Amino acid sequence: MPPLQYNQLTSLSAVKSIGLASTSDVVAPSGAYAVLLQAETQNVRFRLDGTSPTTAVGMRLIAGDAPIRLDGAEAVRSIKVIEEAASAKLNIHFVTM
């Protein structure tokens, strides 16, 4: 699982996108197969279906929990995230197989 790229999002009061599109807020590097996500300081919500999460709807990342791993091109293609409360940080690490 060699690392490819690390990013940290610190401004999550509005929905941010992570993915392959050049218009994403965080663009996945070439060769990314999986992404590790970890919430810091505040909980974060995410969705993989192209719909924007809200502060109350979406899969929940609990601040301080171990990172979760999302595998496959579909997971890396389009992730949308938002904080549940102000000052959330989201650690993002793209990896290969």
How does pLDDT run across 50-77, given as a tens digit for each residue? 999 999 999 999 999 999 999 987 778 8
Residue of 56, 48, 58, 52 lying closest to 79 (CA atoms): 48
Q: What is the pLDDT of residue 68?
A: 96
- pLDDT band, very low/low/confident/very high, at 1 (cuts 50, 70, 90): low
Tell me the domain boundaries of the chain.
3-95
Task: Flag whether the pTM goes above 0.95.
Answer: no
How does pLDDT run across 2-35, given as a tens digit for each residue? 779 999 999 999 999 999 889 999 999 988 999 9
Give dist(CA 5, CA 87) in Å, integer.
23
Better-scored residue on pLDDT, 72 or 89 = 89
Domain topology for 3-95: Jelly Rolls (2.60.120)
